[in-house]
Amino acid sequence: MFEGSIVALITPFKNGEVDYEALAKLIDFHVENGTDAVLVCGTTGESPSLTFEEHDKVVEFAVKHANGRIKVIAGTGANATHEAVHLTAHAKEVGADGALLVVPYYNKPTQEGIYRHFVTVAKEVDIPILVYNIPSRTGVEISVETLYRVVKECPNVVGSKESVANMDRISEMKKKLGDNFSILSGDDSLTLPMMALGAKGVISVANNVMPKEVKELTSSALAGDFKKAREIHYRLYDLFKALFLETNPIPVKTACWMLGMCEKEFRLPLCEMKPENEKKLREVLKSYGLNLVN
């Protein structure tokens, strides 16, 4: 089961190319800080602007560099089912521990179309699969009933990343899908309330910056120590919000640059932060006593 603190890892760029030296250091950083798994080529990893070749190479590199020290989940979602199959098959081939597939975006498929999409991929590729539900980006939400249909037919669909503020949905999912299905928060500020309802952890943006603290939050919640988890939540709350001053992953990559982890380089249509927002982000990072080198 995927649980605990999973980092939605940034993809570092340098001079227009993927910076594999920086990527290796980022993976090592999370191994050293006790992160439970790294997710590469997700939205935070700027997957929409990676070529297919880059996408496959980043996943393969991450698996080889991790070398069993930490689980690697590959973002393999697409709005075309055949592309999702291709990306997921490659992730399995190179040894990824699981795949995260976003609900097909822009097309706005029906619930039947969403069901067929996930069943097709899951039956074609026998790898543990997490469904990614983020209707604010995809334009459509997978219903709990549709998710239940998929899970009943495909036992390798083992969990979902939920980027929704609807706690009734999480309650319904928990009741219908049970303890063997791993619900993961997709929003750092919602990790605590979701875990209070039985979610197993978070696929986190904030743990790019403060991995030990996010790990401590999820470990406390999993152990039932919600007093401690709540204290950590409130301690990190300003960071959670600062990392979404602009579209993710712009602020978190900027924060990583400030910490000397990568270059401040994006691919269009993403671009650098407004100066006033970058200043706000810098002040928040300083308030945590982090060592800013840029």
Residue numbers annotated as active site: 132, 161
Contact indicator for 264, 253 with CB cutoff of 8 Å: yes
Cβ atoms 219, 4 nearer than 8 A? yes
Reported as type and span, the H/E element at residue 218 is helix 211-222
The DSSP call for residue 241 is: H
Tell me the torsion sign for CA atoms 147, 243, 258, 69.
negative
Q: How far apart are CA 52 and CA 6, in angstroms?
A: 24
Query: How many CB atoms lie under 10 A from the CB of residue 291?
Result: 9
Is residue 129 within 8 Å of 98, Cβ to Cβ? Answer: yes
Q: What are phi and psi of 113, to 5 degrees?
A: -65, -40
CA distances from 156 to 2, 23, 272 (A): 12, 29, 39
Structural element, H or E, at residue 202? strand 201-204
